[in-house]
Structure 1
Amino acid sequence: MPSAQPSINTDYGHHVSSTDESTPLLGRQRGQEGTSSGASFGFSVFNLMNAIMGSGILGLAFAMASTGIVGFSILLLLVALLAAYSIHLLLRLCIQTAVTAYEDLGLVAFGSSGKVLVACTILIQNMGAMSSYLFIIKTELPAAIAGFLSGGDHSGAWYLDGRLVLIITSVCIVFPLALLPKIGFLGYTSSLSFFFMVYFAIVVVIKKWSVPCPLPLNQTMMYMEVSNSSECKAKLFEFSKESAFALPTMAFSFLCHTSVLPIYCELKSPSKSRMQNVANVGISLSFIVYFISALFGYLSFYDQVDSELLQGYSKFLPNDVLIMTVRLSILLAVMLTVPLIHFPARKAVMMMLFSNYPFSYLRHIMVTLVLNVIIVLLAIYVPDIRNVFGVVGSTTSTCLLFAFPGMFYLKLSYEDFFSCQKLGACGLLVLGICIGACSLTLITMDWAYNK
């Protein structure tokens, strides 16, 4: 689904030999096949958008409530532009170094330690994405089950216990699928998640006029001392302790950089300018879907918006048929995507710890089991999905989105330090470090204050 969905490409050793930006990257390899091979421009845009859009879309309305409509718009546009620029730097490095994998850029720049650093970052990012998806199962699957139950008192039933339902789902569905040596068919089914995200945005727009305003007092008073949001007044700018979660959530939502180079390699008649256009179009369309869903989600609940948007609809529109279809579609996408993300996560662990050992089914099973247990525990004991977006977004997402592209470009590029590109890379590196450090500090302070 992925913000924030990490790349499932496992061809870490693929290299190319072209060094001219005007020369198609894979021209030598495709010379005998003609220009008909490779993915079309439109299909490449779709692949990139599928890598971009994920669970982060559920947290953007809360980010807008924390920053205001204008503040959110400026920050989201800034993150989108910086994401496009960091892709520009990655593509230039790909041309200069003939490397087509994010981990190999770390290897070329800083040796084996650089490759391990990137692999660790991607592993933590993948685990954060998987735990956010499992959190959605924990919160939304019981609500979906309750929506199909008619009559009677089902309170206290085991099938409405989110933690128990999550464990059963992980044991019976996620873990068996993740154990399979090849699950290529899930790569196609997970692509449906992109359409589910678009469908979600459309339903959020439609249901804006179905949510009562002001919200029912008996509902709002359950989790709020004073119901100021019942005035249904949107804020243009807002700054509070929750604002610290906004930028990390946006960074989490736009992360697609581990997928960029593999998509570049599969592009028909690949060139830097053509792939940059793919990135620009993909990020722009994702920005539109993100902004629409965040805006209308915020205008539906105002200050009462939940950190996971669907929870608000569960409170105020519990039996709405359209909301139930959205909930089921997202749950289906989540259940099929989590096993898929296990693959690059498990491969990163194998590369770091067992790269010199032959393949072993026992090791394969044990690593998969350990990863599954960790993400299930995270999903169970993390009380709020915004904590996942905040911590992962302020650490690994800012590294992969801002810091690493700038750092690798400064290390590998032969340009003069005062050239526009190197100055831009330096600015991207400094900005990534500042955003990550400040956001993580504010989030930690917020936790301490709440505790």
Structure 2
Amino acid sequence: MSINNGTNANFGSENAAGDTEDGDDAAAPLLRNEAVRTRAAGASFTSSVFNLMNAIMGSGILGLAYAMASTGIVGFCILLVLVSSLAAYSIHLLLKLCDQTGINSYEELGGKALQKPGKVLVGIAILIQNIGAMSSYLFILKSELPAAINSLLSPDSTGNAWYEDGRLLLILVTLCIVLPLSMLPKISFLGYTSSLAFLFMLYFTVVVVVKKWSIPCPLPHNVTTRSTALQISNSSDSECTPKLFVISSTSAYAIPTMAFSFLCHTAVLPIYCELDRPTKARMQNVSNVGISLSFLLYLISALFGYLTFYAHVDSELLLGYDAYMPRDIMVMTVRLAILLAVLLTVPLIHFPARKAVILLLWGGRAFSWLIHITATLTILSVVLLLAIFVPDIRNVFGVVGATTSSCLLFVFPGIFYLKISGQPPRSVDSIGAVLLVVFGLIMGVISFVLIVITWIKSS
């Protein structure tokens, strides 16, 4: 999120745009004042799509094959279409509100709808969600990057090399890569790194498809993986038969997993503000293309990952390839590619977190490099400390992620639209907003309950 836009009129000022005319919100520009009309061209359509896809796609792609095994192929496809469609629709509501009110900040929309408590609530939700996501990503890097590098350099681990110290590697990549990218004043500058991250995700999908024919079925039974949630039959025929519908205790995790995989709403508005010729229709096209391409990569990687391992599929897909193909060069390189993609996602997630901190502590004041640098260093320090010292970051942020993600993805856009739009209760968008709120609340409660039950059973 571009924090300097308070002075550039790209972002952060509630009065940065004029009121839109009735019936013309789809074509009206978000920002109309003179500073915007005379500014340099913003981010291109392609760059904005890459940034949005980078905000959408992260390590969640590794868990969708397991979600397919938990729900069946048809069940998974139905849920994936449902969640992606709702995600796109909630973005549609946010963009409509932006053009109707001239507000170009998620936090300010919360303030418009629910006064100061709404602004603070949204800011805290964004901060918790994004700090949790960044910490989780860096925790993955700390755990997986040493093994990935070691597997590429030597078949035998000595245990003494500096690159096998995950904490040291994490500090180095944070200082050398994450910090410089996070210091950038505009989110559009990350379009190049986002395109690189997209190529890494595309490479991952290609490898999953290719390796479908490299691992035989039935799988060798002398090899085991860490996944124990799905039990298989002793029959080789049933073991190699894909299931169309599956209902089990793990099926309830599928929707939260998919919802978290499409959460990009905190980055949508800053991308919108820095888009060249920013109109609702143009940004909606960016959103539709980004979500559609992400949907395609998610579906292909999940399908072929499931058809490779069937009920043996691991909750983290690459672990299955490690078990059956421990020294395969494509698997080793794709692991490194995914880690780099996750690494390049961290600065993009950092933008909304920094903006939330600045709005909560300093309000809508003009851009200051001192505040910008202080907020950046503070957030990254907290994230780095959590990733280094918390032993199981996923459990720590499990409940928080379930609640804040469902709020930011479904509940807040629906409530804000109902409070601000002034549309009749029986209008199509009003009914859709109500359904978003209900769906988000149900999903959030289910996620929370399931995580608590999991904790109780494991204790």
Under TM normalisation by the shorter chain, which class is it? Answer: 0.7 to 0.9
- Deviation, 1:239, is 2.1
Question: Could you tell which deviates more after superposition, 192-201 or 215-224?
Answer: 215-224
Instruction: Give, in whole Å, the separation in 2 of the partners of 1:273 and 1:346.
Output: 28
Instruction: Give, in whole Å, the separation in 1 of the partners of 2:283 and 2:376.
Output: 35
* Count of residue correspondences: 437
Change (3 A) 1:376 1:353: farther
- What residue identity is the alignment partner of 1:327? R
Change (3 A) 1:367 1:31: closer
Q: Which residue of 1 aligns with 2:233?
A: 228
Instruction: Give, in whole Å, the separation in 2 of the partners of 1:54 and 1:213.
Output: 29
Q: Which residue of 2 aligns with 1:189?
A: 193
- Deviation, 1:397, is 1.4
Q: Secondary structure at the match of 1:332?
A: helix
- Deviation, 1:310, is 1.4
Q: Which one of 363, 376, 382 corresponds to residue 370 of structure 1?
A: 382
- Deviation, 1:16, is 1.1
Instruction: Give, in whole Å, the separation in 1 of the partners of 2:272 and 2:175.
Output: 31
Instruction: Give, in whole Å, the separation in 2 of the partners of 1:30 and 1:310.
Output: 51
Q: Which one of 307, 314, 317 corresponds to residue 309 of structure 1?
A: 317
Question: Could you tell which deviates more after superposition, 348-357 or 136-145?
Answer: 348-357
- Deviation, 1:158, is 7.3
- What residue identity is the alignment partner of 1:289? L
Q: Secondary structure at the match of 1:439?
A: helix
Q: Which residue of 2 aligns with 1:434?
A: 442
Change (3 A) 1:138 1:299: farther
**TM alignment of 1:179-258, pairs within 5 A:** 182-183=183-184, 188-220=192-224, 228=233, 231-258=239-266
- Deviation, 1:69, is 1.0
- Aligned alpha-carbon RMSD (Å): 3.3
- Deviation, 1:324, is 1.6
Instruction: Give, in whole Å, the separation in 1 of the partners of 2:247 and 2:271.
Output: 38
> Which consecutive unaligned segments of at least 5 residues does structure 1 have?
1-6
Question: Retained in 1: the 8 A contact 2:110–2:416?
Answer: yes
Q: Which residue of 1 aligns with 2:89?
A: 85
- What residue identity is the alignment partner of 2:67? A
- Deviation, 1:151, is 5.3
- What residue identity is the alignment partner of 2:89? Y
Change (3 A) 1:411 1:377: farther
Instruction: Give, in whole Å, the separation in 2 of the partners of 1:125 and 1:59.
Output: 19
**TM alignment of 1:239-278, pairs within 5 A:** 239-278=247-286
Is residue 171 from structure 1 mapped to residue 183 from structure 2 by the alignment? Answer: no
- Deviation, 1:206, is 0.7
Q: Secondary structure at the match of 1:241?
A: coil
What is the TM-score when the length of structure 2 is the normalising length?
A: 0.84
Q: Which residue of 1 aligns with 2:8?
A: none
- Deviation, 1:56, is 1.3
Instruction: Give, in whole Å, the separation in 1 of the partners of 2:221 and 2:242.
Output: 19
Instruction: Give, in whole Å, the separation in 2 of the partners of 1:34 and 1:160.
Output: 49
Is residue 126 from structure 1 mapped to residue 130 from structure 2 by the alignment? Answer: yes
Instruction: Give, in whole Å, the separation in 2 of the partners of 1:30 and 1:354.
Output: 26
Is residue 418 from structure 1 mapped to residue 418 from structure 2 by the alignment? Answer: no
Instruction: Give, in whole Å, the separation in 2 of the partners of 1:193 and 1:73.
Output: 25
Q: Which residue of 2 aligns with 1:46?
A: 50
Instruction: Give, in whole Å, the separation in 1 of the partners of 2:135 and 2:392.
Output: 10
Is residue 17 from structure 1 mapped to residue 28 from structure 2 by the alignment? Answer: no
- Deviation, 1:433, is 0.6
- Deviation, 1:96, is 1.2
Question: Retained in 1: the 8 A contact 2:227–2:313?
Answer: no
Change (3 A) 1:327 1:341: same
Change (3 A) 1:110 1:170: same
Change (3 A) 1:342 1:28: closer
Question: Retained in 2: the 8 A contact 1:178–1:342?
Answer: no
- What residue identity is the alignment partner of 2:385? V
- What residue identity is the alignment partner of 2:28? P
- What residue identity is the alignment partner of 2:174? V
- Deviation, 1:195, is 1.2
Instruction: Give, in whole Å, the separation in 2 of the partners of 1:156 and 1:40.
Output: 46
Q: Which one of 328, 341, 347 corresponds to residue 336 of structure 2?
A: 328
**TM alignment of 1:99-110, pairs within 5 A:** 99-110=103-114
- Deviation, 1:209, is 0.9
Deviations 1:196-249 (A, max 9, x none): 111111111011111232222121287659753862222211122222221111
- Deviation, 1:106, is 0.9
- What residue identity is the alignment partner of 2:427? S
Change (3 A) 1:47 1:171: closer
Identity of aligned residues (%): 55
Question: Retained in 1: the 8 A contact 2:70–2:254?
Answer: yes
Deviations 1:236-277 (A, max 9, x none): 111222222211111111111122222323334433233223
Instruction: Give, in whole Å, the separation in 2 of the partners of 1:292 and 1:104.
Output: 38
Question: Retained in 2: the 8 A contact 1:249–1:393?
Answer: no
- What residue identity is the alignment partner of 2:18? S
- Deviation, 1:63, is 1.0
Is residue 381 from structure 1 mapped to residue 392 from structure 2 by the alignment? Answer: yes
- Deviation, 1:55, is 1.6
> Which consecutive unaligned segments of at least 5 residues does structure 2 have?
6-10
